[in-house]
Each structure stands twice: as structure tokens, then as C-alpha cells.
Amino acid sequence: MRAVQFNEYGPPSVLYVAEVEAPHAGPGRIRVAVRASGISPGETLIRSGAMRDMVPTALPYRTGFDAAGVVDEVGEGVTGVEIGDEVFGMADPAERGANAEYAVLAAWAPKPAAWTWEEAGGAAGGVETSTRVLDRLAVGAGQTLLVQGAAGGVGTIAVQMAVARGATVIGTASERNHGFLRSLGAEPATYGAGLAGRVRALAPGGVDAVFDCAGGALPDLVAIAGDPARVVTIAPDLTAASHGVHLSHGAPVDETGTALGVGADPLAVHGLPIAVALAREGRLRVPVAAAFPLAEAAAAHELSESRHARGKIVLVG
């Protein structure tokens, strides 16, 4: 089968499509014929080598964490899903490899009929990350949440899932994306200098929590929240600890439920069925910034690194 991988750290050009042996569904896993799969900012950093100390990788490395497709293998012990079912989900973080013609999923849910394959292919990572962080911040009804970088692949989903919890959401983005954020249910604010004042005008009573999807502004975000414990970042900012801010990255768990990985949080896979329910109610969509064929994975990574993509970037075919 064809799969996207790299043999060395470097720029997007190190990515290539290789002919590799197809994986198979082991116990507790399913395999899908992939219709679409996601590109994440975190994985572009893995490819560049920027996260080699935090996320060590064996080379060659097959890329891709989330995917959607048609089930064609069901592993031992798996129930509730059959060959031919349409699903979306995520690979084991230790294995990845979803940017391929076939992928093994460790967690999945039925593909909502309202979502296209492109939307479903880019959904699982953002849903899991959003659920993980919103749970850690205990975001709920009556609270005010600030999402820094709200127009990106995770931010767009975080806004909608927080609104579904009954929270008031303020989202930062460039001015050209303000109307888009309003359509998702957020009050928009421009990021950059003076952010605290703009947030104060929108939320005179202050904010209860901050979800940082963008990075680069932790001192300001801590000041806005009033307490570093009320800020969680998913941006790979190695200064987070010095600001007292938790940097959340997901990992599989052992038999006791403990996350495997330094500083990692357990994957919030319980968010997948929540997302399905919201999608069926018309309350969760997955904005897709662009879709590229597998052979253009490098171009997809370049777009992700530009930080100008509104929504999720996916690979198809």
C-alpha cells in the first residue's frame, strides 16, 4: 500500500509516499480503507525535529493520527462494528501511520452522515484534543472560556464543543476570520498586543479558563486568566512549565489508566461519541481548510506551517 513517511528530520520536502506492507488489525483494533486523513501542526513539528526530545521517534516514521474510512478488518475482541461500516477515529499515538491507503485505528466512532469524508478524516484528533483540554479545565455551563488560536484545526472544534457545554467562548483570530468565529458561536477578538484589554471589554467579569491552541503568548494568557492553573496549552512551548502552565499532549494509557509518556495526559477518546451526537444535532462541523492527495503531503505540511489555514488540512486518495 502507499503511505506517507520520512526517513530524516527536516523541512516538508523530506516527506514522500512509500510502498509499504499494509498493517493488520490486532486485538482491540480495526483496520479501515482510508478515504481521508488529517494533518496536524504537532506532527509537522515532529517531522521537523523540533519535538525530538519530547516525542522520540523511530525512523522511518509514518505520519498521520486521525482518519476516516470503511472498515475492512475487525480485530479480536472488537464488538459493535462490522466490515463495511463507515467510521472515523485515531491511530495509536505510538504507531500513527494514518496518512495511508489503509490504517489501523485504536479508537473510533460511526461517521456522522452530515460529515463529508474530508470532514470526518480530520475530526478525531481535534475532537480528542478539545475534549481532553476542556475536561482538564472543567469547562461547563455558565463559564467563560478564551480560546487562543480559535480558527485553526483544533480551535474550531474546541469552540463548538465548549459552546455545546453551555460556556461563553471568546476566540482569538485575525480580523478576516471574525465572522467565521461568530458562525461557530464565539465572540471574536484580535490576538496580539492589547489582548487583555479586548478580552476585558468582552468579558468584564473575567474569564474562567484559557485554551491555548497557538502558543507565543503565555504571559498574557496567564495574566488574563489570573492563575496559570486555569491555562492549558497544546502548542509545543517548552517554556510552559516556567510559566506554571500545563502543556497537554495525549498518550495511550496502561492497564491502570495512567498515561504512558512524560507529562502526557490520557487520551480523551470518550469525546468521539459526544462529537457524533453533536454532529447529528447540527451542532458540530469540521471546517476543512484544504484537501491534498497523498502525493502532495509536503504541500499540506507547508500550508500547516504557514499558520494561515482556517480549519483542518486533510489528505485524500
Residues 135 and 59 in one domain: no
Whether 275 is covered by a domain: the verdict is no
Quote the cell numbers at residue 251: 498518550
pLDDT at 261 over 80: no
pLDDT band at 260 (very low <50, low <70, confident <90, very high): very low
Considering the chain, what percentage of its residues have pLDDT values greater than 70?
95
Does the pLDDT of residue 316 top 90, yes or no? yes
Strands (E), 135-261: 144-148, 168-172, 187-189, 209-212, 231-233, 246-247, 250-251
Query: Per the structure block, which three cell numbers stand in for 114?
Result: 452530515
Residues 101 and 155 grouped into a single domain? no
Assess whether 155 and 110 both reside in one domain: no
Tens digits of residue pLDDT in 165-216? 999 999 999 999 999 999 999 999 999 899 999 999 999 999 999 999 998 8
Q: Do residues 76 and 190 both lie within one domain?
A: no
Q: Residue 253 class from Cβ within 10 Å (0-12 exposed, 13-18 middle, 19+ buried)?
A: middle
pLDDT by residue (tens digit) across 15-55?
999 999 999 999 999 999 999 999 988 889 899 998 777 77
Pairing status of strand 246-247 against strand 231-233: parallel
Rounded mean pLDDT of 4-18?
97
Whether residues 77 and 29 fall in one domain: yes
With a CB cutoff of 8 Å and minimum separation 6, the contacts of 197 are none
In a domain, 280, yes or no: no
**Is 279 among the domain residues?**
no
Say yes or no: 258 and 135 in one domain. yes
> Are 54 and 96 within one domain?
yes
CA distance 241 to 250: 17
Say yes or no to pLDDT of 155 above 70. yes
pLDDT at 262: 52
pLDDT at residue 258 tops 60: no
Within a domain: 271: no
255 and 292 fall within a common domain: no
In this structure, the answer to whether residues 253 and 303 fall within a common structural domain is no
Q: Counting beta carbons within 10 angstroms of the beta carbon of residue 84, is it exposed (0 to 12), middle (13 to 18) or buried (19 or more)?
A: exposed
Q: Helical H runs in 218-282?
A: 218-225, 271-280
* Residue 62 within a domain: yes
Please report, for the domain that includes residue 247, its CATH number.
3.40.50.720
Q: What is the pLDDT of residue 53?
A: 75
pLDDT at 148 over 90: yes
**188 is in which domain, residue-wise?**
127-265
Residues 189 and 233 in one domain: yes
Number of domains observed in the structure of the chain: 2
User: pTM value?
Assistant: 0.93
Identify whether 272 is part of a domain: no
- Shared domain check, 131 and 118: no
Mean residue pLDDT of the chain comes to 93
Both 8 and 60 in one domain: the answer is: yes
Confidence of residue 254 (pLDDT cuts 50, 70, 90): low
* Partners of 11 in beta bridges: none
Q: Residue 221: inside a domain, yes or no?
A: yes
> Is residue 105 classed as helix, strand or coil in its secondary structure?
strand
Give the pLDDT band (50/70/90) at residue 259. Answer: very low
Alpha helices in the chain (DSSP H): 41-48, 117-121, 123-136, 153-164, 178-184, 195-202, 218-225, 271-280, 297-306
Length of the chain as a residue count = 317
Q: What is the CATH number of the domain that holds 20?
A: 3.90.180.10
